[in-house]
Structures are given as C-alpha cells and as structure tokens.
Amino acid sequence: MLPTVDKNFFDMREDNIEQAARALKAMAHPLRLKILCVIGDNELPVMEIVNKVGTTQSNVSQHLDILREKGIVVSRREGSKILCRVKSKEILELMAAMQQTFCPS
C-alpha cells in the first residue's frame, strides 16, 4: 500500500515550491547527493569530505560551490580549514526521508 500524501502538501505557497524545486535540483546530481550524505548533520573539513567521497579536491569544491549557491550547504573558515555543514534541518529531514525510502536497513 502506498503512503498517503498530506492534503496540505498541495496547498504549498509558490515560494515554498520554488525553494523545494531548487533544493531537489541541486541535490539531484549523484556526487552532490553523496557529499550531502557524507556531511550529514556534521560539520566537516573539505579534505575529510574529499577523502570520504573518493574524488579530487577540485571536483568536491566545485560541487560544494553549487550546493552553497543553492543554499543547501554553508561553510566557514577555521584557520586553514574550510568547514562545511548542511544549512537547514529541512534538508536533513529530506535526506533522512530519501534514505528511509531508497536505503532501508
């Protein structure tokens, strides 16, 4: 049996729909989704993300830039490190729902 969709879902305001569409579009790239899964609800240095994702620092940085532009990830400098984290609890909740749907344990 398919889960039901809350009827209020269809009453979303236009700006909420636009925000959701931008977030989903940014997250739709496999490497960006993997980066988000690696970060999770942590704040991680870029090089740790690079090591866990398994691609080049340049590639990860390009995708982090896109995620920052779309308001999905924020970063801050601490000494020589750049630390990244997911910006909002809503994105973390969306990721948890995707994990529960596509990667059930």
pLDDT, tens digit (0-9, with 9 covering 90-100), for 73-100: 999 999 999 999 999 999 999 999 988 8
Q: How far apart are CA 41 and CA 96, in angstroms?
A: 10
pTM of the model: 0.83
15-99 topology per CATH = Arc Repressor Mutant, subunit A (1.10.10)
Strands (E), 36-92: 44-45, 73-78, 81-86
User: Helix, strand or coil for residue 78?
Assistant: strand
Average pLDDT over residues 39-64: 97
Where exactly are the structural domains of the chain? 15-99
